[in-house]
Amino acid sequence: MGTLKDCIKYKNTDNIPVWFMRQAGRYLPEFREIRSKNTDFIKLCLNPELSKIITLQPLERFPLDAAIIFSDILTIPFAMGQKVEFEKNFGPRLGELNLDKILEMPDNEIVDKLNPIYQLIKTTSKDKILERKDLIGFVGATWTLLVYMLNKQSPKKKLSENIYNFKNEHELIKKIVHVQKLHIKKQVESGASIIQIFDSWAGLLSKDKYEKYIYKPTQELVNYTKSLGIEVICFPRSIRSYLEYCNEIKPDVISIDYEVNPLEIARNINIPIQGGMSPQILLTDKENLKKEAKRYLDIFKDHPYIFNLGHGILPETDPTMVDYLVKIVKDY
């Protein structure tokens, strides 16, 4: 059993496990080398051999306690028949949403398209490097997928006004949740030992819309994952109240962003906590990094805590700073 499981299941506070969102990615020269030869990002995510290499690259460099599969939340809209492309210096661009086609698409066709991800998990979970470590599978939360599917690009660029009360919205949400559950089940059957749900755009919503777009669908996913005997981590980035979210959703672990006060979180939330530190700190110097990492470690020292960041590692991060950060956590 990995130390993540010890922390989550047994509320162990002796050893603080560490892994990072986007630990496999553009800050690593070995990843950039593979990426330069594979320009179609979705195709790369659906290449089980290369995805396995990328998933394990950070574990070959750093003594991390978990691997997270190299994939993307937008493989689900892709598998549901929506065109998904990643443009350099722009990000994801999605095609028109053919609702009838999406609603009628049979499960076996969707699973076939996502099958390379399950192959990746099967082979990676058996790799020696992951002995006593966890392999994290994931999905994007329903609301975040809905944003991309309807907005057709990152809302950072521009947010469409048609995003709320979209015609046939109820049917689309129902279909997305169904596919998410299929995808979670297949990941677990293939060997994922933990599932994380990324709600990257939770912060876009006003509180009156939480029940419909966040609480109801996420609750269904969390309950379903737990019914498979697997722990679930939720990351509702920039949500207005992490406490209310935990009370509604009841995840096994709550992953926090860097805009929230960690002291308040430690005081009010009694389930295991993950993350918090800003990825920007890794772009500063070692003295500053040590000070900020120790601040989080001290705040959560008597609380079941998984060290991570408040978002993914930034592409311009120096890998030696990541190495230094892992050492700080391990030596604490």
287 vs 205: CA distance, rounded Å: 37
Residue matched to tokens 């192959």: 119
Residue matched to tokens 């990676």: 124
DSSP category for residue 320: H
Side by side, the strands of the sheet bearing 66-68 are: 66-68, 134-140, 194-199, 231-236, 253-256, 273-275, 305-306
Q: pLDDT at position 2, please? A: 57
99 vs 232: CA distance, rounded Å: 30
Q: pLDDT at position 1, please? A: 45
Residues 6 or more apart from 69 whose CB is under 8 A from it?
Answer: 51, 55, 117, 120, 121, 124, 135, 136, 137, 138, 187, 192
Rounded mean pLDDT for each run of 10 residues along the chain, 332 residues in total = 82 92 97 97 98 98 98 98 94 95 97 98 98 97 97 87 82 98 98 98 95 97 98 97 98 98 97 98 98 98 97 98 98 96
Closest by alpha carbon to 251, among 296, 207, 212, 220?
220
Contact 4, 17 (CB under 8 A): yes
The highest-level CATH class for domain 3-331 is alpha beta
Q: Which sequence spans correspond to the domains of the chain? A: 3-331
User: In a 10 Å sphere around its CB, with 0-12 CB exposed, 13-18 middle and 19+ buried, how is residue 16 labelled?
Assistant: buried
Entry field: residues in the chain: 332
| Radius of gyration in angstroms for the set of CA atoms belonging to the chain, rounded to a whole number | 19
DSSP category for residue 82: -
Three-class DSSP category at 270: coil
Residue spans of alpha helices (H) in the chain: 3-10, 29-37, 41-45, 48-61, 75-79, 99-104, 107-125, 142-151, 169-190, 210, 216-227, 242-249, 262-268, 286-299, 319-331
295 vs 71: CA distance, rounded Å: 32
For 149-205, how does the pLDDT look when each residue is reduced to its tens digit (9 = 90+)? 999 999 987 787 778 878 899 999 999 999 999 999 999 999 999 999 999 999 999
Closest by alpha carbon to 236, among 262, 269, 266, 201?
201
- Active-site residue set: 22, 26, 35, 72, 148
177 vs 179: CA distance, rounded Å: 5
What is the model's pTM?
A: 0.97
Give a three-class secondary structure readout of 174-226. Answer: HHHHHHHHHHHHHHHHHCCCEEEEEECCHHHCCHHHHHHHHHHHHHHHHHHHH
